[in-house]
Chain A
Amino acid sequence: MTTTMEPAVTSGIEKKGSGEQPVVGTKSRFGRTTKYIFLILFVIVVMTPVYVLIVTSLKPPADVNPATSWGLPVRWPWEAAAPGGPTGLDNWSAAWTALAPSLGRTFLLAIPAALISSLLGSMNGFVLSRWRFPHADLVFTFILFGMFIPYQAIMTPLVQMKTTLGMPSNISTLLIVHIIYGLPICTLIFRNYYVGIPMELMEASRVDGAGMLRTYASIVLPLSLPGFVVTIIWQFTSAWNDFLFAMFLSDTSGGPVSLALNNLAQGAQLANYGSAMAGALIASLPTLLVYIILGKYFIGGLMSGSVKS
């Protein structure tokens, strides 16, 4: 992987030039201080829901009351409010019990969905970026349109089709669906990515007499790693977080974690928000980890959603 590939995935969000440069622009010290105060204030606002999630998930039900609902837990997570009563950690184990089976299923759904759509997307992107066959632009628009439709527009016949074909209400049906509807965005990301690869590389291989498939497999594919990271993250996140297809095409006994979490949360009494909050944290952990570790690529995928790269 060469460094010249980088712009295609970072999508112009990084500051120009090298990272560490003297900060210029704001003149007065007062202005600078005000700016940082606002920036930090916004950080606090954005992080507030996370604080609520963590704090509430660690409080035993007996300690949950409106007056102290914003406060830190008053006891350690492993301490019960009354002898023998539930602890804060019990919220977490209840949430784990409720979500564990669906967590495994969601990995089995999201990982293959991400890999397969990415591979197909890379083939399409390669063709659309390099070979000028008649009406190539029309074909591209034809593929792209699928990314912009509200999925409600295909849901009624899709549900009917699933019933007619007797497809199961579990992740195998969802897997097919996520692969299919992930194709447009993966194609788009790869097309924009390949447009950035120097033409000479491929021209050389044509002179060598390598066929198109061989060019793809021996030259293009090895150069594609950054593109794959972007599409795999994108597809993994959207399959993991999907709720619409999960609601219409699967049920809680065979569906993904979003469905199980919703079930846990909707069943929760007002008094036991704790386990719902713990569940929300557990269900968000995989995508959050991806975001924290591979944030740059995550943003690359986001930006490609706006078509223009």
Chain B
Amino acid sequence: MRKGIKNWGPPLLLIAPTIIILGIFVYGLIAANIQVSTTNRHSLTPATEFVGIDNYIQLLTEDRFLHSLLNLAVFTVVFIAGTMIFGFIWAWMLDKGVNAEGIFRSVYLFPMAISFVASGVVWRWLLNSAEGDRASGLNRIFESMGLGALQNSWWNEPVWGMAAIAMPAIWQLSGYIMALFLAGFRGIPEELREAARMDGASEWKLYRYVVFPQLSPVALSALIIVSHMSLKVFDLIMSITKSIYQTEVPATYMWVTLTSNDYAKSATIATILLVLASVLIIPYLIYTNRSEKETR
């Protein structure tokens, strides 16, 4: 199909600025980041030597970093479970036919339009750790409903405190997952369902053998998007708790190291985050690329 520069020259010229800019600011900076992570640049003084993977070994054996990874894992599991459950239930209820569907949809989705910083303001209040007479926020609700036993110190709890931080994230993003699932439901050809019904399939079997298999690509997308967001969680934690040890995740730990000018360490944390993200994203990109080609 090669027809010479006259044919593919001009389009290449149109997208050249973007390619150059992204070449520098995405790929170039990633390379620079990896380079910094292999030096001993732990302060404002320039690096003096190449240390190979020493920074990585140090970090991966450091209790503080492992603690931040554990926090991230707890957060991620709760966040994924919460958004997938709410997102699916909402989409499922709306898909079955509801009056004023648009209103319900807009309400469930609206937290997505708000910044994590703004929602952090109100969630800090809701997740107030005071209990008993001094309780406000959610603890006050439990108190007044006679469910005092449910009161807890939320993000102040060790280990499971991260599950409390996941609550605002679930509140913000379940609507997004609902939208994805809803599009998935609406993408199932009506004839498929009709055919199954004609064959006398029960409602459960209809879901088990027709709807769920059709939804699995959507579920995969949703899963990847949510876990990817989870890896990067930063805003929410900074605005609810600031960067403290208890709620530390790699992204906030990186903030601490970079603001104290430990460039090598912050670059090392960042590379690990990038690797984690790539493990999710690259197979996904290949998969969508392939399935798009098939449908063309």
Contacts and interface: CB of A to CB of B under 8 A. Distances in A.
B32 interface: yes
A284 B136 contact: no
A154 B190 contact: no
A111 interface: no
A290 B258 contact: no
A240 interface: yes
B8 A134 contact: yes
Interface in B113-130: 113-126, 130
Contacts of B205: none
Given A13-B186, A153-B274, A183-B18, A35 B98 contact: yes
Given A241-B115, A262-B238, A212 B11 contact: yes
A69 B140 contact: yes
A213 B277 CA distance: 37
A298 B106 CA distance: 11
Contacts of B239: 243, 262, 265-266
Contact of B97 (A24, A187, A213, A265): A24
B166 interface: no
Contacts of A127: 11-12, 14-15
B12 A149 contact: no
Contact of B228 (A70, A148, A180): A148
Interface in B30-89: 30, 32-33, 36, 86
The 4 closest A-B pairs by CB, nearest first: A133-B8, A241-B115, A157-B32, A291-B113
Majority SS at the chain A contact face: helix
Contacts of A72: none
B251 A152 contact: yes
B26 A154 contact: yes
A47 B186 CA distance: 26
Contact of A53 (B115, B122, B221, B288): B122
A306 interface: yes
Given A25-B96, A183-B22, 7 more contacts: A12-B186, A42-B86, A123-B14, A126-B14, A146-B26, A155-B258, A265-B239
Contacts of A26: 96-97
Interface string A156-190: 11111100000000000000000011011001000
A262 to B, nearest CB: 5
A134 B5 CA distance: 11
Contact of A284 (B118, B134, B232): B118
A280 interface: yes
Contacts of A130: 11
Interface string B249-270: 0110011001000010011011
Contact of A70 (B105, B141, B221): B141
A268 to B, nearest CB: 9
A287 B255 contact: no
Interface in B196-252: 217, 221-222, 225, 228, 231-232, 234-235, 238-239, 242, 250-251
A143 B105 CA distance: 32
Nearest to B271: A153
B186 A16 contact: yes
Contacts of B99: 23
A288 B270 CA distance: 32
B183 A303 contact: yes
B93 A39 contact: yes
B160 to A, nearest CB: 21
A69 B30 contact: no
Given A25-B97, A127-B15, A153 B115 contact: no
Contact of A154 (B29, B96, B183): B29
Contacts of B228: 148
Nearest to B263: A156
A124 B239 CA distance: 36
A267 to B, nearest CB: 12
B270 A156 contact: yes
B21 A12 contact: no
A93 interface: no
Interface string B86-104: 1000100100111101001
Given A46-B107, A152-B269, A243-B116, A280 B121 contact: yes
A14 B120 CA distance: 31
A237 interface: yes
Interface stretch (A83-91, A221-229, A271-279): A271-279
8 contacts: A127-B12, A130-B11, A134-B8, A160-B32, A161-B29, A280-B121, A283-B118, A302-B179
Contacts of B292: 308
Interface in A120-148: 120, 123-124, 126-128, 130-134, 137, 139, 141-146, 148
A248 B274 contact: no
A308 B221 contact: yes
B33 A156 contact: yes
Contacts of B146: none
A148 B125 CA distance: 32
A42 B11 CA distance: 49
Contact of B93 (A35, A70, A262): A35
Contacts of A273: 125
Contacts of B190: 16
A289 to B, nearest CB: 9
Contact of B8 (A126, A131, A292, A303): A131
